[in-house]
Structure 1
Amino acid sequence: MCSKGWGAVLAAGVLLLAQTPAVARESGPRYDGAEEHYAGSQIALHEGVNVSVGPLYGGEAQTLGHDVSGHQGDVDWPGAARTGAKFVYVKATEGTGFVNPRFPQQYNGSYGVGLIRGAYHFARPDISDGAAQAHYFVDHGGGWSGDGKTLPGALDVEYNPYGETCYGKTPAQMVAWMASFAETYLWRTGRHPAIYTSTSWWKRCTGNSNVFWQNPLWIARYNTEIGELPASWKTHTIWQFSNKGSLPGDQNWFNGTIDRVRALSLG
């Protein structure tokens, strides 16, 4: 199911990786602090937060939701539903060695109160290839089913919490890594994964790639306006506008009514 654009990206990435000099590595990949690496944790650190941002943007054409990780612990899902949340993304995995220990309570609990939920994967391009991480994600909660209550999985690509911003990759290598993840996830589930990122990181680490237009965009910007989007997209699907609020976790607007959220879940 690989698109023509992705095929070219993957071929170029393999060549570049083959030409990259070997670098001495530690005995094993680091996962210290992984439970604190949630969607936007590094974006807030590097890009800042406008604390005045509130939920006034939404209106009738937008749907309020949130995202959570092990950072939040067990979530009061009936309480979250009462605050108006209609959907949620839950961190499932990081790299190929970390599973959110709170994932069952968070993922199944949100489903139990009627929220449309999906899982996301915190990307670690520094430790293994994109295909391996897509398989790990699907095998540990990141799959999809057409039940009308499950969103396609999301790939969280943001600043490296362990070192160099772009995980030691050139823009072409980073694009190839993400294409490998996206193609593998599509093969495993039949759905294009959403991509979570910020415009600043995307420009810096992918060279503002424009080849991921098939993937729904989940954009992070903690301000009163979304601002410029990455070059792959002309519009966003979800805007993570704040990391504070009445809901547990980060706050998001889905760009459409609840019917559009359901449509994305159904594919």
Structure 2
Amino acid sequence: MTATFRPVRRAHILSSMLAGLALALGLLAAQPAPAASAAVRPRPAGIDVSRWQSAGPADTCATGGIDWAKVSRTSRTFVFIRATRTSGMKTSRDACFARNRAGARARGLYRGAYHYAMPRKTAGSAVRDARAFVAVTGGMQGAGDLPPVLDLEASGGLKPTQLASWAHTWLTTVRALTGRQPMIYTSPSFWRSAMDDSTAFHAYPLWIAHWTSGAPSLPGKWPTYAVHQYSASGRVSGIGTDVDLNVFNGSASQLAAFAHPATHPTVVTTGPTAYRGSPWQVSGRLTRAGGVPLTDTSVTLYRQVGLGPWTAVAKTRTSAVTAAYRFVLRPTTAARYRVRFSGSTRFAASWSYQRSHTIRNRVVTGTELVTDVSRVRKGGTVHLSGRLLRANGTPLTRRHVVVYQRVGTGRWTAVRTVTTSASAARFSLTVHPTRATSYQAVFGGSLSILPSRSAARTVRLR
């Protein structure tokens, strides 16, 4: 791949890698936690290739090409292979893709496929490119298949909002066609300029192209990355030209999990508005390709407030039958949420899409209750009436209010549920006390409206 970079200094050593970033994005198990030092914990090394590593004349694949047997005897354990590229209005197959993928698979390398994109304003171009890519790669659901990749290093003249929309369409189309969550390949400088440093793509693992031996710069506030392309001029046995060098941001076992079949946590919420202190729900299902449920499996809910870090706030297990899960919160501030499956020995980790809510205060209410008399003969008639109002005095119509009574010093018990009128929010009922009795009206509230209760009104016997 080629990418646009700002100049970097090579004086930094891998010991400057930040520890713990993987937890922030939840790349535990299937996506890695950074090593403190390459010398302490070696991370899996890899390459990425295209026709240029075995080019023949007129965009063909040379007879010799890459010697995958020799590559497999080096320290390189994974490879991303260009499958398609867009030039002008045409998306074409890389002439060496089939041979390179077969050679990598035969030698036991983890392998992925990428599409070199040239976004354009033409309606439907992202969908067509995605379909052309999957037509070449297939579903990429076999053991050892890494996620599909969108190589995004050219804007095609699109503005940041247009480019973000194009990329989102490509990514979601590939996900729908393969069941796998794609990755994004980009460079810090390109993302910050062409994508206006968008923070909307954290659900997709990041393959960051930053040619430095130190920690890569992460655009778009990505909490961490999955793969770091740190050089474009490497030399690897079995390849006769320069080749891009990469390192996986985790352990060998995490790379193995990353190459397992993909998973997908769906997510729906109560809605885009949460009322302070009221229940607000996140729910969904954890599935693999084809919608097959992953039952009795742990998932974690993460929350971000403002520009702060993503923080794990709750954990639950999917149901034993449908793989459904649910989190019930009582938010006090606006926030964003996403659900994380951390992966297993059989399935790759995954994020849900983000969901967010604004926050509003619940409406303050007041419940009024009056009696027409304060003393009555035993069994006599007493008329109770009242209104339910917002704090600003406007009526709350067609709402249920429960009238309670307490005889003497006994317990409060419900007498009747009444409904406020459709215009003035009034309610009324008739009672026949046989002892001194107190009455009170209670409005139970709702997600958006606070509860309230009237003052107690006591009727005594004459």
TM-score of the aligned structures, taking structure 2 as reference length: 0.45
Q: How far apart, in 1, do the equivalents of 2:128 and 2:193 lie?
A: 24
**Which residue in the other structure is 1:229 paired with?**
218
- 1:262 aligns with one of 253, 256, 263: 256
> How do residues 120-159 of structure 1 correspond to structure 2 at under 5 angstroms?
120-126=114-120, 128=122, 129-141=125-137, 143-145=139-141, 147-158=142-153
Distance in 2 between residues matched to 1:148 and 1:206, nearest whole Å: 33
Contact 1:67-1:251 at 8 Å conserved across structures: yes
Output the amino acid matched with 1:90: I
Match of 2:47 among 37, 44, 66: 66
Q: What residue number does 1:203 align with?
A: 192
Task: Report the Cα offset of residue 63 of structure 1.
Answer: 0.7
Alignment of 1:1-267 (within 5 A): 39=1, 41-43=2-4, 47=6, 58-59=38-39, 60-73=41-54, 74-95=65-86, 96-126=90-120, 128=122, 129-141=125-137, 143-145=139-141, 147-158=142-153, 160=154, 166-247=155-236, 248=239, 249-266=243-260, 267=348
Deviation at 1:124, TM superposition (A): 1.0
Q: Give unpaired runs (5+ residues) of structure 1.
A: 1-38, 161-165
Q: Structure 2 vs 1, CA of residues 125 and 141 (structure 1 numbering), >3 Å: closer, same or farther?
A: same
Cα shift at 1:243: 1.2
**Distance between the aligned counterparts of 1:217 and 1:148, measured in 2?**
21
User: 1:48: how far off?
Assistant: 5.2
User: Which stretches of structure 1, 4 residues or longer, exceed 6 Å deviation after superposition?
Assistant: 49-57
| Count of matched residue positions in the alignment of Structure 1 and Structure 2 | 219
Partner of 1:125: helix, strand, or coil?
Answer: coil
Bigger drift between 74-83 and 224-233 goes to 224-233
User: Structure 1 residues 97 and 218 mapped into 2: Cα distance closer, same or farther (>3 Å)?
Assistant: same
* C-alpha spacing 1:232/1:179, structure 2 compared with 1 (3 Å): farther
Q: State whether residues 122 and 157 of structure 1, in contact with CA within 8 Å, keep that contact through their aligned partners in structure 2.
A: yes
Q: Is the 8 A contact 2:185 2:207 kept in 1?
A: yes
Tell me: CA distance 1:227–1:258, structure 2 relative to 1, closer, same or farther (3 Å): closer
Larger displacement relative to structure 2 (98-107 or 193-202): 98-107
- The alignment's TM-score, normalised by the length of structure 1, stands at 0.76
SS of alignment partner, residue 235 of structure 2: coil
Task: Determine which structure has more spread, i.e. the larger CA radius of gyration.
Answer: 2
Q: What's the offset of the Cα at 1:55?
A: 8.8
The structure where helix makes up a greater share of residues is: 1
Superposed CA deviations along residues 53-98 of structure 1, whole A, max 9, x for unmatched, are 9999634251101100000012111111111111000000012422
Q: CA deviation at 1:117?
A: 0.2
Which of structures 1 and 2 has the larger relative contact order (alpha carbons within 8 angstroms, sep 6+)? 1
Q: Give the aligned CA root-mean-square deviation in angstroms.
A: 2.2
- Is contact 2:3–2:186 with CA below 8 Å preserved after alignment? no
Paired AA for residue 240 in structure 1: Q
Tell me how far apart the structure 2 counterparts of residues 150 and 142 of structure 1 sit (CA, whole Å): 11
% identity of equivalent residues: 32
Task: Show structure 2 runs of 5+ residues with no match.
Answer: 16-36, 55-64, 261-347, 349-462
